[in-house]
Every structure is written in C-alpha cells, then in structure tokens.
Amino acid sequence: MFGKHISSTAIEVPPDSGPEIHSLGKAYTVDTVIDVLCTSGKSYPAPRLDFFINDKPVGEHFITRYPNQTFINGLQTASIGLQYPVKAKNIISDDMSQLSIKCRAKIWDAYWQSVVQKTTFKRLGRMLESRSNGVPTKGTNN
C-alpha cells in the first residue's frame, strides 16, 4: 500500500488503461452461452466493473466477481466474468443481428471508462416438419 489514508472520493492512481473484454465469440445462436471475462487496468483503488448487453445492465446472477489482484507496488486490477445464456426473448426484433457487450469500469463518481464489443446473433433456419413415416413407398404404373 501507499501508507496514506485514502478518502472515499480520492483516486490515488487512475487506471493505466481502460477495461478489456476477453473471449467474446464472433457469433452466437439461441441456447448458447456468452462466456467472457472483463479486466480493468491497474489503479488504486481498483474500479468496480459491470456488464451491459445492448445497453441494459446484466443481472448479478449472470456475473462472477473475482477478488481484486494486488501487485507489489500496491496497484490493483479487478475482474468479472459473465455467463449469459442467449435466449430468443432477449432478442428485440427479427432483424436484430448484433449484440453489444459493454464492460464499464467505475471508481466512485470520479472516474469511469467503458469498452464495447459487438458479436453477431445468428438465427437458425426453421426446421421443416416431415409428415412421412420414413418408409419408402413404391409407385405403381397402372
């Protein structure tokens, strides 16, 4: 640590970089899971990280908050994981083809920075129902 008393509104060392999203896939379909990690830059204190999908906050039950990592110089990084199941009801319209994943790093009201990555939502083609019983039939030439 720095040996100083830190007030609840002072940032001793602002983050050295913005938050980063790791492992976002290029495309997702219904019933797949978006499984990503967001990490902050080094700072003191560590920022609070939050996820948003299409600019809507993600519920805490989809998030894993990991303990802050503290380095020998006293700086810290924060990390959170997101495991979000893609459901048809979460897709706003039939023509929507992209999902926006945002991670925001915030230290009180004194600092915030976000990163946004986009991924594609792919709709699977509709399955056609077969009315046959699977047994081939022979035609007759009468």
| Residue 141, domain member (yes or no) | no
Q: For residue 54, is it within any domain?
A: yes
pLDDT confidence of residue 51: 97
Is position 83 within any domain?
A: yes
Residues 42 and 85: their CA atoms lie apart, in Å, by 30
Strands 27-28 and 111-121: parallel
pTM over 0.85? The answer is no
How far is Cα 17 from Cα 58, in angstroms, rounded to an integer?
A: 23
> Which DSSP category does 139 fall into?
-
Give the sign of the dihedral formed by CA 35, CA 106, CA 18, CA 1: negative
Tokens 């050295």 locate to: 16
117, part of any domain: no
Residue 129 lies in a domain: no
Write out pLDDT tens, residues 11-48.
688 898 999 999 998 888 888 999 999 999 999 999 99
The domain spanning residue 93 has which CATH number?
Answer: 2.60.40.10
Total domains in the fold of the chain: 1
pLDDT at 3 over 50: no
- What counts of helices (H) and strands (E) characterise the chain? 0, 9
Domain of residue 89: give its range.
20-111
pLDDT tens-digit profile of 92-114? 555 557 788 999 999 988 889 99
Model confidence pLDDT, tens digit, residues 50-101: 999 989 999 999 999 999 999 999 999 999 999 999 876 666 555 557 788 9
User: Residue 65 falls within a domain, yes or no?
Assistant: yes
In-domain check, residue 81 = yes
